[in-house]
Amino acid sequence: MTAKAKIDFIVNWLNDYANKANIKGFVIGVSGGIDSAVTSTLCALTGKKIIVLNMPILQPPAQFDRSNEHIAWLKENFDFISSYTTDLTATFQQISKDLPNDIQDHLTMANVRARLRMTTLYAYAGHHGYLVAGTGNKIEDFGVGFFTKYGDGGVDLSPIADLTKTEVFELAKELKIVESIQIAKPTDGLWDDDRSDEDQIGATYPELEWAMDYIEKNNTSTLSEREKEVLSIYQKLNRANQHKMQPIPVCIIPKN
């Protein structure tokens, strides 16, 4: 399927879902990254009302600027776009003061940031009666679980969760997303030092896509040392993050 065909399919799917739910619009958090840029553009193509939120928390300036550049591009190209900048830095710093220091490791506090943003998205969505559109792709959501549970994973619907990262970039090119976002290294935006996803994971998205495809096809071909390393990274993260990818376990009490 071509990038254009995928775009048309997703836009029709969004419209169909929203119409059946009697929902008039979508809320999306934009980070200056490729996933949120593509997701917000797909939502805008529905013709429904869109709210895009820039929610910096001690954000590197480049990420904040890319978010604003994308918001300006959306407003130039689409109707019914509303945007808000909600700086959550002070809120995050207050939570940091309130939580015990001995639980404030880097990963814990990065996840706190993501959950603050989720809360903010739902504040806007709840008030307007809109849906929160998720920005996770297939590798993140169903491969390595590279998202925050009840953070960026807390959404109403996931328009791009069946697209690999490579496909997301292909759609971005077709949609003519601003160049600065298309060439930026993917990052989750949860760290002060602007580290990339590759820095955190230890593998690129094309490598992870290869690993997912290798496993799905039950491939048994001879692997290079790097391929073995990437496969190990993928399998380790996939196992560790199954709790994010599977439904919440429910203890079913026997009737007898």
- For residue 55, the domain's CATH number is 3.40.50.620
Q: The tokens 């200056």 sit on which residue?
A: 32
Q: Which residues in the chain show pLDDT less than 50? A: none
Exposed, middle or buried by CB within 10 Å (0-12, 13-18, 19+), for 94? exposed
Domain-located, residue 222? no
Tens of pLDDT, residues 23-47? 999 999 999 999 999 999 999 999 9
Provide the domain limits for residue 36. Answer: 3-198
Q: Can you give the pTM of this predicted structure?
A: 0.93
- Please state the domain count of the chain: 1
Domain-located, residue 16? yes
Confidence (pLDDT) at 195:
80
Domain-located, residue 184? yes
* CA count, 13 A, side-chain hemisphere, 7: 19
Confidence (pLDDT) at 245:
92
Domain-located, residue 86? yes
Domain-located, residue 214? no
